Amino acid sequence: MSDLKKYVEGRKKRDPEFAYGYYEGYEQFRIGMMIREARESAGLSQVELAKRLQTKKSAISRIENHAEDIKLSTLERVASSLGKRLKVSIVSINRRKSISKPSVDVPVTGRGRYRPGKKRAKSVAYNKAGEK
């Protein structure tokens, strides 16, 4: 096992927040890789697939590299244009160690996401004399 794999496995055991984010990110990465593999096995470039879907190459690249929040209808269109059909299943999360989302969600500025487990500092108003 490589040093990186050892580090990741150890970190997942120590840090539930890291483990949750790791598995969530991996699932999104896997969707993009599946689309890329299907496109390549069909012998198409990103440009050719984009033409079939009447979109731009950058949209195909974004789907393959950042498949988070992709619509089911988009996945169906991609599959159809590759001569495939989409198969969706709901599986038990018991197939790996049960990693649940950490219980505290706090908004993080930027992309409108939540960072589990992080607490915000409370702002305190002071008057001119420096009193609360």
Q: Tens digit of pLDDT for each residue in 34-90? A: 899 999 999 999 999 999 999 999 999 998 887 777 889 999 999 999 999 988 888
| Per-residue exposure over 1-13, b if at least 16 CB sit within 10 Å of its own CB, e if not | eeeeeeeeeeebe
Q: What domains can be seen in the chain, in order of their start residue?
A: 3-97 (1.10.260.40)
Residue 104, pLDDT score: 47
Q: What is the CA radius of gyration of the chain?
A: 21
Q: For residue 61, what pLDDT is reported?
A: 93
Distance CA 125, CA 118 (A): 22
Q: Rounded to an integer, what distance in angstroms lies between the CA atom of residue 132 and that of residue 130?
A: 7
Sequence-separated (6 or more) residues with CB below 8 Å from residue 93: 99
Mean pLDDT for the chain?
Answer: 75
Q: What is the pTM of this model?
A: 0.54
